[in-house]
Each structure stands twice: as structure tokens, then as C-alpha cells.
Structure 1
């Protein structure tokens, strides 16, 4: 349907303009008088629809050409020409004298030319009546369209836009089974209708009526995991208010933190050289990490469930700390501290021996033998017929006349920090 907007006869309009000095033939000054509206056909369409604009009347003389531009989100602020400077005579005339201008491309094409992809909101077409040359213009016809989605438009103003915001209390993360209150806030607050609460695409409960701009729902049924919660508003009067949906609200539900079933405890023989174990049990833990302490200080690098006690632990207390963790958090259990005893006495493997010429005046040398664990130092006691020789405590000994025709032995003490001492005696040597 073409517009039937009333117009004065062209001659009367021109006479009036000339009388007031508003239009001077031959002037190059630009004008932007609004001459009327344009009909958009089809009235509803898509981003790929062919569109024809029909003005409510003809361009006033002396206009011979026209230009059509479009403005709106994505296009340059000054507008983008969709019909270049073209003679009016190339277009069909509507029954009421209007000019029917078919656009040669679609809105999707024009958006692509302007360098954007999303069509949204209001776009205004302006047809400017003008001369073929110069900058003189003789009025404009205008018409808007509204993209109600990225791909569909309408030529009548849509219902009042609404916005929906979603909040959750508590804000999360929460433990599974926690009661979570979802509240949708609608603007404008006077818009009536219902809100659907969604977990992804699944609806939570029944739609809730909006009251004073809000709608709320409480649920304890959210499963463990990350959820994308949304609120969708449906207006009671779609002609008055548009529908809207909130942004997705990321909401995490976690399993309960691990619980200590059996507290941490150090098991095994607590002495140097022994391997002890951190015994502990958690419920709901997906991993357990260990650390060991000497007195109250954490021992660097000791992170296994078991640990072999070393000399540095002797005369100190040892304990273990276990941390059970899952996706929610962690729980710590620390064992009682136990005193670390010395390790067992060093064991002699190869017996000590005496080397040298077994005669008075010749040096005798003690060989300590081998020990497990390895000794780090030794002490010596020389004996004559099993009795200690006073002062003979070196690794070497020079027999005297008192030793002639007697049996000489050496007792070696193997020593290592953190372990009890070990003792071993050589076979006797008869001194001549």
C-alpha cells in the first residue's frame, strides 16, 4: 500500500518557497527538508530480502536525481549510500506520484560492504532529492526498519524492549544439595509476564509470574558440575513488551570436601634406617599428598607416603601430614609426632685384621674390616692376651718386650651418626 500523505500542489509549494526566499533557483546551498515518509516493501522480511522504497510523493522541482543512504548500528555515522546519484526518471512512479526505488542489494550485502556481520536495532533509510550536479538538495523522504533478530526485520516499531538479569544466592560455588535461589530482575519493572529458569536447555521447575519486576525460584537439585543458568522472560502482552533473556550465568556445584575417616599416623619402627609409613584414610578424596616434618619443620623433598629415617632425624620428633583433595577443596590431617631412636648397631661384615711383622719393635697396623651400614669413623683398642693395653688406641701399634710370646688383638669400634656403635675384634697374632 502506497502512502497517501497529503501534499500541496507543486506549483503552490514552489511559489511559497520563492516568496519566502527559502528556495532560489540556481543556488548551490544544500537543504534537508523532510518531504514525507517512504513505504518499505516487503513490510517484514529477512536480511537477504529484496527491498523496495516508495516515497509518499514526488521530489520537488528542480530535483532531477536522488540518492538513498542507510544509517544505523554498524554503518558509518554519516550513513552509507545504497543508491548512488541516479536520475529520478529511471524509476517507476506510484499511483499517488511517489517514486518506487528498488534496492539493488540486500541488507546483508550492505552490512558486508560496511564490514560488520550483526544487524540489530533500527536502521533509517533516507532518500534525498537533488540536482544531477553540485550539492543542492530539495528535501528528503525517510523510513525506518527494525531488525528484531540478526536476520529478520519489520517496518513497524517493535514492542518496547525488555531486559532480564539473573542472579543466584548464594553466588557459588556451592556444595551439592545447597538450596540456591535464582532471581530474575526485569526492566521495565511494569512489564507483566512469566520467567522460565533454565539449566542449559533444561527448564528448572515451572514458569514463575513476574511481580514488581522480579521472579524467583529456589532449587536444591543442581548436580555436581558447572552450569549455564539463564532466565527467559515471556511478556503477557507481546504487542506492548518484547521478550528477553538473561546472559548465561556460570554456576558451579561441587562435591563436599574430603572427610578424615582415619587420622594420619606414623607406622613402622621409628628409628634411624627404618622405613615408616603415613597411614591415613579420607572419604571423598580424589588425591592425597604427603609431607614429612622434623619437629615442626617440613622436610624438603619428603613427599612420598613412606620415608626412610636418616641420621638427621635422631633425637628429633617425626610426623607426617596428609592432604586429601577433590574438586571442592582439601582437608589436612597431621599425625602425632614420635621421637626417632638411634638405628641398630653397625654390623661387622669382614672381620678386622692386623698386618705387619709379628715381632717386637715392628709396627702392627689394624684394618677395620667392613661394616653395614658403612662406618664413617673408627676407634681402636689393642689388647695383650685379651687385656687392654693402656694407651694403645691408634690404628697402629709397636709391640714391646712385654708383648713377646703373647697374643695381640685389636678391637675396632665402627661408628656412624644416628646409629649405635658396632664392635668387632681381630684374630690374635702371636708376637715373637
Structure 2
């Protein structure tokens, strides 16, 4: 089996000790480059005999010699040489052209030489291509092994690597929304082969139960986000933590506004709908913090009519009257308009002071009618003079000149009080006898 190489240059001082007949060590060696991997055989074992390392290829042309070292728990940080500076030609060649280098001792032997007894964890072999003399090196081949106990080893990592995951979160519709809106949260987990569940959260509060991931996505729809600012996240938990790592999305800011007011009871004009009466615009809204009113005559707003109540005037008769209510809160406004109602004529004017007749009640004299007082006040009057209760022809003015026909009879005047938008009121004066 081939392994990823670990680059390691043998320190110049260590090489100087090991090189047989080394001379001229003052030259500076070039930085070793990774040339390939080593195959360790047997791939697994109990460390009862020496291993063999085989390079994945040949050393570069300038190299004539090699050194093999090992690093790991218990060994010096710069490595222990397990094969000293040796000519490459003394070793066999593999079918692929690699160099086959037997190790003459076991790992336990090398550990004893380094001054420790327990082999554990990862150890890395490095074969360095070099010259016979000096410190120049021409690259490395490398391979790791793992001791799972003090005697057993293998050339594969006993702890399999865990694949990292990423989780991203999206929300639709986009923020801001009003309270009660159905919001869909979608988490995307990569790689999409990662199985597990996603827990959606609002801050530290879980939103519903964990949702299974399918083809890299998990989704949750909720209408429970309250008005205010939210920090939404999606947390992925893998089904097999030995294969995939957990991950969490970055927080997604999300704003939910107060829902605009809702109509609870539709607007309605209440009260007696006739001139002179006061009517009320009755309506109720849920969630409103304030309300405004507008009165409409035949569908058009009446200038200045913005109170909840309205006293109907003559101009309202006989038109269609409605009211519009606009309720508002921080989330917006909602308007509703009442059905229109027809404004009726006001009641007949009411006489509060009886009409009277002034002047001398004799033939040839002029009598004058006083209309009295009316509520509401009249704006014009009509007159009918009567003789013994019967209308006198032509007697329709505010004054009347008595004739010989009137002598000895009772004269009265009937007043008709008039005001726009109201029914007429009538009242009759006391009678006077013409002498």
C-alpha cells in the first residue's frame, strides 16, 4: 500500500556522525523535496521482525546514497536514523523501479536504543536520497504507521478521518414580514451525502423537532415567529459522527413586524339618520393603537368631518352617508367603510313661542303677524290669515288690512316655519274680534 510522504531532511550534524568515511561536511545541503511515498511491509504485524520499506520510485540521478529515519512518540524530534548512510546500489529494485530497503531491527529495538519502552500512536518513516559525502540531499520518500498497542501496528489510521460539513440557512419570504406569516426555513447541508438531522433555532429556542436531511436539504415551515427581531440558525447533527462532522449555519437576522389591525366589527352608522340628529361611526379593530375617522357624502369625503360622531346638517339631506375608519399600529394601517345610509329630513320645526297678531282690530286697520319662536330657528315663514278659521283669499302676507267683511268675525294668522332639511312647523295665533 502506498502512503502520503512526510518530508524530512536528515540534520547535517546527524548525517556527519553516520556517514561512513564522511569528509568535507562543510557544504550546505539543498532543501529536501517530496519525491513520493514508501510502502511498508508487512502492512500489519506484531513487531517481531524488521519491516521493509520500498520507495514509489527511484532517487534522482545525483543521489548515490540513502538514509532512513523514523519520528514519533518517544523518538528525538529530529528523528532516529534506522538505516545509516548507505549506497543505493546495495539494495534491490522493485518492479516499479523503487528501492527495497529492509530494516534490520524491530521498532521495539529502535525504541530501546532511543531510551523508551512503549510504542504508541503514529510513527513516520522517511527515506532521504543523498550523496555519499557532504550534506546535500535530493528529496524524500515517506510513510506513516500506527501502533494500536505496544506490539501491534498497521499502516492505516485506526481513527478514520471525519468529513467536515457546512450548513447554510435561507428563509422565505424575505424579512421583514408581519406576524402570523408562514415562513419556510430551508437548510442546505454539504456534502449532500451527509445523513442526519437539522434543528432549526430562534436564538437558543428550538423551532419544532429536528428535521431529517434528504439529498442535502431540510425544511421547516412555521407561523409562530412573534413580532420583533429574530436570530435564526440551523444546526446539523450527523447520523454517524465518525464519518461526518456536525455544523451550524451563521445566524440569519429576521424581522417580524406587528400585524396590522384586523376588523373585528365592521363599521356601521348608528343613531337616527336624519337632519339634526347625531350619528356615530361604530367599529372595532383588533391590535389597533389609534383610529381616525372620515365621513363620506355620496362617496366623497366631507371636509372637516373627522370625528367619530357627526351631527347631520341640511346639506346631508337627502344624500347617502357613510363613515370610514382607519385603524393603525406599528405594523401598518387597515381601513374599512360602513354601508351607506340615506339621510332623512329632520323633524318639523317646533314652536316654542306662539305666533301673535298686533294692530287695531277695526275695519280699515292693518294687522301684523308676529311669527313667534321656533326650534331649531326658522329661516323663512309662510302666512295664512283666517276668518273664523277659514283662509282669507289673498291673505298670505305678514300683514293684513281688515275689510267690512271681517267686521264682527274672529281673525287669526297661521304661521308656517321653514328651514332647509327640516319638515315645516305650523302654529296659529290667538284670535282677535274685529269691531
Q: TM-score, normalised by structure 2?
A: 0.49
Q: TM-score, normalised by structure 1?
A: 0.49
Compare CA radii of gyration and give the structure with the larger one.
Answer: 2
